[in-house]
Amino acid sequence: MSIQCVTPRLFATILVVLGVLFVFVLPAYALPANPDSIEIHTAKLFQNIWTSGDVLLVASYEVNYATEPTEKDTFLLALYSTDGSVPIKSRALEYLQYNVFSLYFTPAEAANLTWGGEYKVRIVGNPVYFTPQEGTTMATRTLSSYDWIEGTMASSQNYLKEHCLDLAADLEMEWSVVLITTTPEKQVLNSVGKEVFLTAIPGLDTAVPDLFQVTSGTFNPTWQNRTAALQNETTVAAMLGTPIANALSGVGNWLGLGESGGALIWALLLILTIASIIFLNSGNTTAALVLAVPAFLLACYLGTIAIALLFTIAILLVVYTMYHIWLQGM
């Protein structure tokens, strides 16, 4: 059996056939189209928003498409060096078209920025999909000293609030959607505006809560340990001794109620016995209840009845007494 070598012509034919199959069988990978227009309208930086020394960059922009790309993270908001050659920080845009977005710099990151510097703010196409080209897939705005908003935390937060309201007013005109509600005291963002700006500036409601019509917060209680000294000192064992506590516990366990349940039954039987004797001899219900009170107080003191039950029954007695004295007396 002889083995024939593949001729160059046959090898070329095989490559052509495989190439045709590759083109027609595998789906074609198409890059997203360039936007119809791209622009940065505003860019401002605010210091001391959440903590001393931090910096927040807020920008409004347009990345216009008749039909938006389906790919994610197609465009970025980025801050570049003053000569535009070195990217400092970037974040993928959540939305295209006309919108607002932000970059946050921690105090450590902000320490590397020159306050008032002429950095480049850019909306730029993700290099995975686009070749950066000014005016086509990239828009650049050079910062000026007026774009750096300096002040204490309170003043910077107030400047940020006013700027967000200005941006919301622009978005209202562009989108024909109401984002601002006017109250007798001030203007605030409604629920739609809140969603827009919290997407653009995460955590904005914690820095400027009065910017929003509806705000939420977290309550952190301070927990304290209590010794429950009175409760510990008025147990059956402490007041009557361990043998009696064990006896009551045995009765309570037999009934399925435990020590406290056994002590309560004993105390209630004593109180009912006293009240019954008084009622049988006098026929006066009120006298029976009132004269049983000392026994009830003694039971509370000895730990056989909980203090909370004492307060509950005391209130009922007061109501019952007032009923007889006031209503029946009229």
On whether the pTM is more than 0.75, the answer is: no
Q: Are 286 and 321 in contact (CB under 8 A)?
A: yes
And the tokens for 90? 């970037």
DSSP state of 145: G
* CA atoms of 202 and 211, how far apart (whole Å): 14
- Where are the CATH 2.60.40.150 domain residues in the chain? 37-211
pLDDT tens-digit readout, 92-101: 999 999 999 9
Buried b / exposed e along 133-161 (16+ C-beta atoms within 10 A): eeeebbbbbebeeebbbeeeeeebbebbb
Homologous superfamily of the 37-211 domain (CATH): C2 domain (2.60.40.150)
Average pLDDT (126-149) is 95
Name the more confident of 33 and 19: 33
* CA atoms of 145 and 18, how far apart (whole Å): 61
Kindly report which listed range (65-74, 258-267, 271-280) carries the lowest average pLDDT score: 258-267
How large is the greatest C-alpha to C-alpha distance in the chain, in angstroms? 131
pLDDT tens-digit readout, 191-201: 999 999 999 99
Average pLDDT (105-122) is 97
- Distances 39 to 86, 93, 97, 140, 206 between C-alpha atoms, Å: 20, 14, 10, 8, 30
Name the more confident of 219 and 274: 274
